[in-house]
């Protein structure tokens, strides 16, 4: 459900990670998130090679009409531990991509909802189509999107992060690009993947040593190289797991 | 060769001072001498309480072409010195009690764009060349990254520095890297109007507000800003002296011919 390809480009390898569970609008399971996280760990090794096999940039996309619709909530129906596992794997995955010493580009077509929107925190560049839907509508379900807050605050500023995490409404791709949740907006969803690859290919040409030093320094400057804030944000989300409100609201989903 | 003191000059017009980078034959690239002259001028300004507004500009066609690496690339210890001087200049410029305005004609590149970010307000024209092409040259813009992040936010700073290259003044205004963009023919009059407007404000209110804004500013992650800028300078210096950077810089210097 997570597929990795290595694509040769003039500057070196671009790794393309595709989320492919299109029949479920790429809804994430703990295993898929663990696969993505492990993929980041492997790519870190592969980025060290200075030869032509060295990975110089990463692109992450989703197959089908929607980049990612969030957690697969059906996992939580019979498993009390599933939500905690999803939140924990999400936090690990996003940190692992954020800390890669090479640029990460994500392409969002259709939508990036809840956990899918939180994945964007792991990217340095986000391309989105104008009508895509983005946001964190999980407070409705008694779930807190606090886990996404450290990187959302860096992307859009503290004031806008408040709006996005507390308001379960969604915004479109144009608005996402305007506030900094995405960096570039293309008119059609078909244009997302080519543009994502174009950006990754252009970044792969840059001198690897300078890119590595700059990216890791940016993580130091904005504090995302450290774990403390991520750990606290994850705990804030985990603290609601199994609460009465969450159980009632999730149960209401299955009743329809 | 200019006298060091002539490399940066100050003119006064009432409460408005103009600080000019005066190395036009090198597009005001930041050499050790120019940095020393700028630091001396900024120290003078810090002791001139009746100046409310300081407009910073470049003599000739460009505001500032960035660090002058050409002379120092192969001189042991020199890149470190250059970057540490830039770090100190930016910290001293930020600490000035008067409101600073960068008037950017032509271009503000690399360290020059960093100086612009340190100023409180900036004005340029749509065709100006602005940005941080450091990574393209194998160089790491660590010393200016904290200033850029304070100016445009962390997300935008990340994109600008990793993407490298330059952008137009128009684009720079769209993303908030520059405060205002006006037609080139109007740059002088609009910058003049801006500095007069600022100078018309209550000098104490302006000074208190700027000092307060500086006080609010810890490092972008809440740490010590000065320490972050200084360690950024050390990182930039270590990358500049790497083989990857030297090779690319030598190629660039060979291609551009003598200045």
Most A CBs within 10 A among B139, B148, B155, hence the mutation to make, goes to B155
Min CA distance, B222 vs chain A (Å)?
8
Q: Which residue of A has its CA nearest to B224?
A: A221
Q: Which of A6-37 are b and which e, b meaning 16 or more Cβ less than 10 Å from the residue's Cβ?
A: eeebebbbbbbbbbebeeebbbbbbebbbbbb
Evaluate if residue B69 carries a pLDDT over 50. yes
User: For the segment A111-159, what is each residue's pLDDT rounded down to a tens digit?
Assistant: 999 999 999 999 999 999 999 999 999 999 999 999 999 999 999 999 9
- What pLDDT score was predicted for residue B70? 83
Q: What is the mean pLDDT of chain A?
A: 96
pLDDT in the model for residue B258: 44
Contacts A183 to B, Cβ<8 Å? 155, 159
pLDDT digits (tens, 9 = 90+) for B205-214: 999 999 999 9
Closest to A206 (Cα-Cα) out of B25, B35, B11, B133: B133
How high is the pLDDT of residue B2? 47
- Read off the tokens for A80: 């009390």
* DSSP run (H or E) holding B181: strand B180-181
- Tell how far CA A92 is from the center of its chain: 11
Work out the average pLDDT over B62-69: 95
pLDDT tens digit sequence for B73-92 = 878 889 999 999 999 999 99
Whose tokens are 């939180």? That residue is A118
State whether B221 and A207 contact (CB < 8 Å). Answer: no
Structure tokens that stand for B59 in this block? 């003599």
Q: Are B117 and B144 in contact (CB under 8 A)?
A: yes
Which residues lie below 8 Å from residue B143, measured CB to CB, with a gap of 6+?
Answer: B83, B86, B87, B90, B111, B114, B229, B232, B233, B235, B236
| pLDDT for B259 beyond 60 | no
Cα separation values, B138 from A14, B70, B252, Å: 19, 14, 11
Mean pLDDT over residues B21-37, rounded? 96
Contact status of B137 with chain A (Cβ, < 8 Å): yes
Point out which residues pair with A4 in neighbouring strands: A17
If we measure between CA atoms, which residue out of A154, A174, A223 comes closest to residue B152?
A154
How are beta strands A184-186 and B8-13 bridged, if at all?
unpaired
Ranges in chain A, pLDDT < 70 = 256
Interchain proximity A223–B220, CB inside 8 Å: yes
Looking at residue A256, what is its pLDDT? 65
Whether B240 contacts chain A with CB within 8 A: no
pLDDT of residue B74: 77
Would you state the pLDDT for residue B187? 98
Q: Does B157 touch chain A (CB under 8 A)?
A: yes
Q: What is the pLDDT of residues B105-136, one digit of tens each?
A: 999 999 999 999 999 999 999 999 999 999 99
pLDDT at A80: 87
pLDDT tens-digit series, residues A37-62: 999 999 999 999 888 889 999 999 99
ipTM of model: 0.91
Question: In the prediction, which pLDDT does A46 show?
Answer: 94
pLDDT(B13) > 50? yes
Which residues in chain B (206-235) have CB-CB distances under 8 A to chain A?
219-223, 228, 232, 235
Q: Are B28 and B59 in contact (CB under 8 A)?
A: yes
- φ, ψ for residue A15 (rounded to 5)? -90, 130
Give the minimum alpha-carbon distance from A255 to chain B in angstroms, rounded to a whole number.
Answer: 41
**For testing contact with chain B, the best of A148, A150, A207 (most B CBs within 10 A):** A207
Of chain B, the percentage scoring pLDDT greater than 90 comes to 83
Determine the distance in angstroms separating the CA of B136 from the nearest CA of chain A, rounded to an integer: 6
Per-residue pLDDT of B184-208, as tens digits, reads 999 999 999 999 999 999 999 999 9
Q: Determine how β-strand B180-181 pairs with β-strand B121-124.
A: parallel
What fold is seen in the domain B5-186? 2-enoyl-CoA Hydratase; Chain A, domain 1 (3.90.226)
* pLDDT tens string B213-236: 999 887 666 679 999 999 999 999
Assess whether pLDDT exceeds 80 at residue B72: no
pLDDT for res B255: 77
Q: Is some CB atom of chain A closer than 8 A to the CB atom of B60?
A: no
Residue B99 has pLDDT above 60, yes or no: yes
Hunting for tokens 């103009």 — which residue is that? B18
Alpha carbon distance B250, B246 (integer Å): 6
């Amino acid at each position: 459900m997570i597929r990795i390809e290595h694509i040769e480009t003039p500057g070196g390898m671009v790794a393309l990670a595709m989320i492919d569970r299109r029949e479920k609008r790429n809804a994430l399971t703990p295993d898929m998130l663990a696969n993505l996280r492990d993929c980041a760990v492997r790519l870190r090794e592969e980025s060290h090679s200075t030869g032509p096999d060295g990975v110089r940039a990463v692109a992450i996309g989703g197959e089908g009409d929607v980049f990612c619709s969030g957690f697969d909530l059906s996992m939580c129906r019979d498993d009390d531990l599933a939500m905690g596992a999803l939140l924990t794997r999400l936090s690990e995955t996003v940190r692992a991509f954020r800390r890669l010493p090479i640029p990460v580009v994500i392409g969002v077509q259709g939508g990036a909802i809840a956990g899918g929107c939180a994945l964007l925190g792991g990217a340095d560049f986000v391309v989105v189509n104008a009508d895509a839907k983005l946001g964190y509508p999980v407070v409705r379900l008694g779930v807190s999107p606090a886990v996404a807050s450290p990187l959302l605050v860096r992307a859009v500023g503290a004031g806008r992060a408040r709006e996005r995490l507390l308001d379960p409404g969604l915004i479109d791709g144009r608005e996402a690009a305007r506030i900094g949740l995405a960096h570039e907006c293309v008119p059609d969803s078909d244009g997302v993947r080519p543009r994502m690859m174009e950006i990754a290919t252009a970044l792969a040409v840059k001198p690897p040593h300078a890119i590595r030093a700059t990216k890791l320094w940016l993580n130091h400057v904005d504090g995302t190289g450290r774990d403390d804030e991520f750990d606290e944000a994850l705990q804030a989300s985990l603290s609601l797991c199994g609460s009465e409100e969450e159980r009632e609201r999730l149960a209401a989903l299955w009743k329809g | 060769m200019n006298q060091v003191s002539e490399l940066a000059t100050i003119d006064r017009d009432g409460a408005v001072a103009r600080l000019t980078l005066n190395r036009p034959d090198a597009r005001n690239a930041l050499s050790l001498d120019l940095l020393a002259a700028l630091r001396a001028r900024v120290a003078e300004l810090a002791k001139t309480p009746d100046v409310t507004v300081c407009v910073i500009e470049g003599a000739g066609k460009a505001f500032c072409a960035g660090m002058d690496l050409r002379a120092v690339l192969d001189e042991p210890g020199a890149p470190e010195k250059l970057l540490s001087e830039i770090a100190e200049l930016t910290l001293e410029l930020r600490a000035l009690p008067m409101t600073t305005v960068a008037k950017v004609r032509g271009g503000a590149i690399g360290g020059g764009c960093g100086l612009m970010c340190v100023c409180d307000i900036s004005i340029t024209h749509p065709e100006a060349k602005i940005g941080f092409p450091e990574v393209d040259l194998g160089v790491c813009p660590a010393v200016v990254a904290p200033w850029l992040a304070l100016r445009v936010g962390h997300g935008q700073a990340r994109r600008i520095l990793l993407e490298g290259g330059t952008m137009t003044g128009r684009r720079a205004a769209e993303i908030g890297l520059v405060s205002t963009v006006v037609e080139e023919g109007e740059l002088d009059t609009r910058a003049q109007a801006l500095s007069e407007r600022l100078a018309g404000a209550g000098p104490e209110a302006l000074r208190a507000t700027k000092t307060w804004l500086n006080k609010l500013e810890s490092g972008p992650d809440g740490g010590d800003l000065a320490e972050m800028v200084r360690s950024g300078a050390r990182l930039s210096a270590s990358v500049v002296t790497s083989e990857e950077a030297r090779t690319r810089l030598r190629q660039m210097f060979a291609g551009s011919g003598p200045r």
